[in-house]
Amino acid sequence: MSTLQLAVGLDGAGWHPAAWRSPAARPHELFTAAYWKDLVAEAQRGRVDFVTIDDTLTLQSADHFAADERTDQVRGRLDAELIAARVAPGSAEIGIVPTVTTTHTEPFHVATAIATLDYVSTGRAGVQIRSGGLGGEPGQFGRRQFPALSLATLADPASQELIAERFDEAADFVEVLRRLWDSWEDDAEIRDAATGRFIDRDKLHTVDFAGRWFSVRGPSITPRPPQGQPLVTALGHGTVPYRLAARQADIAFVTPQDSAAAREILAEVHDLAQEAGRAGQVRVFADLLVFLDDTAGVAAGRKAELDDLAGAELFSDARILAGTAVALADQIAELHELGYAGVRLRPGVLPTDLTAITDLLVPELERRGLVGSRYEHATLRERLGLARPTNRYLSGATR
């Protein structure tokens, strides 16, 4: 069996809203660099291919559509891009993928930030694209307003049109990123002190992107990243976000709840990628929220205690698994047999379940031949089997 890719999603004290109250959690350190360095180091010890760092432009909320007033859950976070820039130089092999919200940010700024991250990580950077606009996000910036959405109105035609527009905007956002990353040819920097030429201006290109949401001339202020194009990822829960991933992403994170859904989602993403002319270019990862322990009873018990503290049973977009490494490995193997390129694991409690992934799950996956015993390639793209893209601005290049 071929190997699969393994990613870990990092968010605060863990993906359970009461995780910060777990005895092993480190709530007093959530806003320190040392906390995030330790998490990334632990993931690297387990030979995880890359970590994603979650982020939003509003305070966390138990209500997906609006702010809440709860004080018993973690509220507040550090900026994901800046965390990534801090931890990347101290890591040696693992990929670092921060989340960026496209709806209220400028692609020029993000392009230079992620290109810089690719340099400081020596070719291990990526970005997770998130389409925003919910809750109080528009009020944080004062430039745009959106109609309020709710679970009751989500299926309305007007709401669906708004959602589709936001994802079309995100697709344009990524298009600008990719053009800016290509706006310097690989050999544009001459650095010849004898002749006094640092760059070849003929190898810097304006991108001249003009669309509904963005008008960007270019070139970037940052030379072409070491990977050429850092990894682009996107999370989706339906056709509209799947289409974004099919059009513009290297990796699509999806959230099947069972085997039947896993088959249907995988087929839909692949069909959409083929329609977009990108057949075989999108890797699909299944997200799983996990509580791992030596026995299923202990893992389930830890989750139940946190549910009691939160006042409700944990709900997640991703499938929730509380059990042993063997049971989780069985689920991962099934997903891989269905055709998934990898999985992204969301630890229920940090660092507890991340350490369990490293100590319990990875050895079991290695025993089954699902993961390798060491990092094989230097860059994140190479590790995922993605070629370094040809610069679109080279004479005769095709996208």
Provide the number of structural domains found in the chain: 1
Residue 91 has pLDDT above 70, yes or no: yes
In which residue are the tokens 């993931």 written? 43
Average pLDDT over residues 122-130: 97
Q: Is residue 365 part of a domain?
A: yes
Tens of pLDDT, residues 201-244: 999 999 999 999 999 999 999 999 999 999 999 999 999 999 99
Model pLDDT for residues 70-89, shown as the tens digit of each residue:
999 999 999 999 999 999 99
In a domain, 393, yes or no: no
Give residue 1's pLDDT band: very low, low, confident or very high (50, 70, 90). Answer: low
SS3 content of the chain, % helix, strand, coil (to 5): 40, 15, 45
Name the one residue in this structure whose structure tokens are 């960007």.
Answer: 216
Q: Is residue 395 part of a domain?
A: no
Residues 6 or more apart whose CB falls under 8 angstroms from that of 244 comprise 129, 131, 167, 170, 171, 234, 236
Whether residue 33 lies inside any domain: the answer is yes
For residue 396, pLDDT beyond 80? no
Model's pTM, two decimal places? 0.95
Can you tell me the distance from the alpha carbon of 293 to that of 392, in angstroms, rounded to the nearest whole number?
Answer: 48
Range of the domain at 144: 5-383
Q: Mean pLDDT throughout 185-213?
A: 95
CB 217 within 8 A of CB 207: yes
Asked whether residue 345 is domain-assigned, the answer is yes
Asked whether residue 15 is assigned to any structural domain, the reply reads yes
Residue 8 φ/ψ, nearest 5 degrees: -130, 130
Question: pLDDT at residue 137 above 90?
Answer: no
According to DSSP, the residues that pair with 344 across neighbouring strands are 7, 287
Structure tokens at 260: 């039947």
What's the rounded Cα separation, in Å, for the pair 347 and 67? 24
Q: Which of 251, 260, 205, 199 is nearest to 230 (CA)?
A: 251
For Cα atoms 190, 388, 2, give the angle at the middle one, nearest 5 degrees: 150
> Is 369 inside a domain boundary?
yes
Alpha helix positions (H), the chain: 33-45, 80-87, 107-120, 137-141, 157-181, 239-248, 259-275, 296-310, 325-338, 352-356, 362-367, 380-383
Position with higher pLDDT, 159 vs 183: 183
Higher pLDDT, 65 or 181: 181
Amino acid letter at 262? A
Residue that the structure tokens 């959405």 belong to: 149
pLDDT of residue 160: 85
For 192, phi then psi, to 5°, come to -100, 100
Q: Under a CB-based contact definition with an 8 Å cutoff, are residues 343 and 335 in contact?
A: yes
Residue 32 within a domain: yes
CATH number at residue 269: 3.20.20.30
Going by C-alpha positions, the residue among 244, 174, 176 that lies closest to residue 209 is: 176
User: What is residue 398's predicted lDDT score, i.e. its pLDDT?
Assistant: 52
d(CA 247, CA 168): 10
Residue that wins the pLDDT comparison between 5 and 151: 5
Q: What average pLDDT does range 123-128 have in this prediction?
A: 98
What single DSSP character describes residue 121? T
Neighbours of 191 (CB within 10 A): 7
Residue 19 CA to residue 121 CA, distance in Å, equals 30
* Token output for 241: 């976000």
